[in-house]
Structure 1
């Protein structure tokens, strides 16, 4: 991927020299500016102190706490209408790189899609490796504009299990009909055998138990969609990624609904201990998004998002999320969370999510920008757990230059689940981490 990065830089330089026209990150390919290639860069650096889950180890050594520095995300995008009615989009990047990561991993291909606009505004059809996803708004999130420290991770329902960091090989249709914005996707799930979870523990997938897990057989097509009614300002659907907050630049109020369905995606051992049960992966969600200025003269703004979803991965399925995990082992197999910062955010059950934030007036800090405090909560009632999952993320963004240069300080709080004498997973303690993030991009 280093060679790919150098090639892209070379191409960018070539376009710049030939077109002699570069403005607002765009390399114009014709005289009237209707065809162009736009370049964006974004970097998110985390400095973090983490209270590790009970039993956590780092290279076999017990660690109650860790402090680390890492690259949460580093991305480069190239996109634009490069030919008549044709839109081209490529993204490369790296995620979750810390001291425990494989060295020289390099950038990898996130997206490579192209679509053609058959009916202006109403219908474009495209395909490739892409992040066009269904279920809910932040199943395809613009990570450079999220309001909090992170997006609601559970909405990326199969992240790195049957996809490549959310992206799948897919064909899609998208468009706008009046105030209705829609996307419909048919994707080919990637082989579970190539996922990091499978490679680390193949027995977990190949040994049938009465707990549902992803099927190792050849996958069926995955059909998904998301539909939102946009009451006020229209949002762009050039790329699949939805904006976290516009910081008062738009007045947006949307109500959305989505689904994901994949037949024969899951399997488990029947309760009789003999038969194999194969079941579908079925996800449904509704959500609402409001992001608008309160006082345009002062620049104050309010942002809020809420979602309710029903996820069916099969009987008692549960999976942890552990962004840029600072630990790589656990001495306590009864701790469901695993080591480090793992927390069960994915599973069969019902999810409730809310986030809200308030942007103070422009130049609250003079030339150093303004502040945007926020809070987000995921509350999930998962079939396998005796107690609900309540995951909190609250903090403040220092907007030095909007999303292009911002410092975020956040406290994240997660529950830890351990097996009791009856074999039930109950919440025992809470663990926290404090993260300082600096994001810069254009």
Structure 2
């Protein structure tokens, strides 16, 4: 308990000095360099960092309950030659901490890598084709979530449903199509599946499936994935220039969307019969979701709400880390308190996820309770979140404080 008290003391001290974290209320689009008079040729640069301090009640006997983590350090750049052409480059690192740092910065976790590199071309009004290492994903809004403007501390982990299984950090290499038909937005993609995914297990005779089709069957049989997401915008229309979905608008827009998405990987999983003969099993994931964000008064109060049902089929009785064949229900709700929008604003929230798996009768339930303190919108904020996760006899309580700035 002493460690927890110390952690809370650090948090309270950080809030007491919030005046020194107050940024300019006029962000005005960040770093953007226009290259011609009409502004259609430009380069934009975005940089952000998220730093965390956490307390966990269940750790190894020789480990500290408190730890620090560089959750994200990223730089994103995109350039437009004219309204038809765009190129985007996004690189950085994730989750750098004492257990994966290296003495001279040459370890895998210390290295920068490309998250996205793609080009796109507008083939008709409101319709675009692109290719490269991209984030135009299917399934749900949260599988296309921006890391700049979460409502909660971080994304719901199971919503990034293919991370490391068929892709590189939620990105595939392939071709995508995006656009809209009036209020209906769409994104579709055909991609190559990663060969050396995180699931390196070999299937056991008449056991559970493993996600290793491209590795064990070859890319001719299991090399392609197909994804799509469609959302209908009843109120304000969201931007479709980039794939990153906003987590909370803080009442700056009035948005109500209904969405449907899917992911399909033929022969993506592998199953072994009683004799050890292996065969492919199709991986299929689909979801329906809804998102609502709107002001509640002219004094700055607003609401953000999201809910999704997701059905996951990774093959027979698949269960690996956070992922498994079964279903998921997830929802979160946030309320921005009324106040001067040019000063510090507060947004308490709650989230809940229920994951069921065919391989076990136990559900994975995750409850999150937290609050954001916005010093300059999402550009400068502090988040405190308590999370309780229970899966069978395993129970984990975590308290995390995160500071974030992006420019």
TM-score (norm 2): 0.86
Q: Relative to structure 1, is the Cα distance of residues 27 and 440 closer, same or farther in structure 2, using a 3 angstrom cutoff?
A: same
Give the corresponding residue for 1:360: 337
Q: Relative to structure 1, is the Cα distance of residues 206 and 314 closer, same or farther in structure 2, using a 3 angstrom cutoff?
A: closer
Q: Distance in 2 between matches of 1:374 and 1:49?
A: 20
**Structure 1 unaligned spans of 5+:** 1-21, 321-344, 417-426
Give the corresponding residue for 2:270: 267
Q: Distance in 2 between matches of 1:208 and 1:43?
A: 46
Give the corresponding residue for 1:291: 293
Give the corresponding residue for 1:423: none
Alignment pair present for 1:28 and 2:27: no
The equivalences for 1:309-320 within 5 A come to 309-320=310-321
Give the corresponding residue for 2:117: 112
Q: Relative to structure 1, is the Cα distance of residues 275 and 175 closer, same or farther in structure 2, using a 3 angstrom cutoff?
A: same
Give the corresponding residue for 2:185: 181
SS in 2 for 1:372: strand
- Contact kept? 2:203, 2:272, Cα under 8 Å: no
Give the corresponding residue for 1:434: 399
Alignment pair present for 1:146 and 2:147: no
Give the corresponding residue for 1:335: none
SS in 2 for 1:316: coil
Q: Distance in 2 between matches of 1:294 and 1:415?
A: 35
Alignment pair present for 1:235 and 2:238: yes
SS in 2 for 1:150: coil
Shift of 1:126: 0.3
Shift of 1:158: 1.4
Give the corresponding residue for 1:81: 80
- Contact kept? 1:51, 1:65, Cα under 8 Å: no
SS in 2 for 1:401: coil
Give the corresponding residue for 1:329: none
Specify which of 375, 378, 381 is matched with residue 403 of structure 1. 378
Q: Relative to structure 1, is the Cα distance of residues 209 and 101 closer, same or farther in structure 2, using a 3 angstrom cutoff?
A: farther
SS in 2 for 1:310: strand
SS in 1 for 2:148: helix
Q: Relative to structure 1, is the Cα distance of residues 64 and 387 closer, same or farther in structure 2, using a 3 angstrom cutoff?
A: farther
Q: Alpha-carbon deviations, 1:40-60, whole Å to 9, x = none?
A: 1111000001122xxx54xxx
Give the corresponding residue for 1:47: 53
Specify which of 251, 256, 270 is matched with residue 254 of structure 2. 251
SS in 2 for 1:154: helix
Shift of 1:165: 0.8
**Structure 2 unaligned spans of 5+:** 1-27
Shift of 1:209: 5.7
Give the corresponding residue for 2:10: none
Shift of 1:120: 1.4
Shift of 1:308: 0.5
Aligned pairs, how many?
Answer: 368
Q: Distance in 2 between matches of 1:134 and 1:253?
A: 19
Give the corresponding residue for 1:349: 326
Give the corresponding residue for 1:99: 98
CA RMSD of aligned residues (A): 1.8
- Contact kept? 1:310, 1:350, Cα under 8 Å: yes
Q: Distance in 2 between matches of 1:283 and 1:182?
A: 17
- Contact kept? 1:51, 1:64, Cα under 8 Å: no
Specify which of 202, 217, 224 is matched with residue 205 of structure 1. 202
Shift of 1:183: 0.3
Q: Distance in 2 between matches of 1:368 and 1:283?
A: 43
Q: Alpha-carbon deviations, 1:399-431, whole Å to 9, x = none?
A: 111101111110111114xxxxxxxxxx11421
SS in 1 for 2:202: helix
Q: Relative to structure 1, is the Cα distance of residues 350 and 23 closer, same or farther in structure 2, using a 3 angstrom cutoff?
A: closer
Q: Distance in 2 between matches of 1:25 and 1:96?
A: 26
- Contact kept? 1:205, 1:214, Cα under 8 Å: no
Q: Alpha-carbon deviations, 1:261-295, whole Å to 9, x = none?
A: 1111001223x354424201100110000011111
Q: Distance in 2 between matches of 1:43 and 1:23?
A: 17
Q: Distance in 2 between matches of 1:305 and 1:23?
A: 26
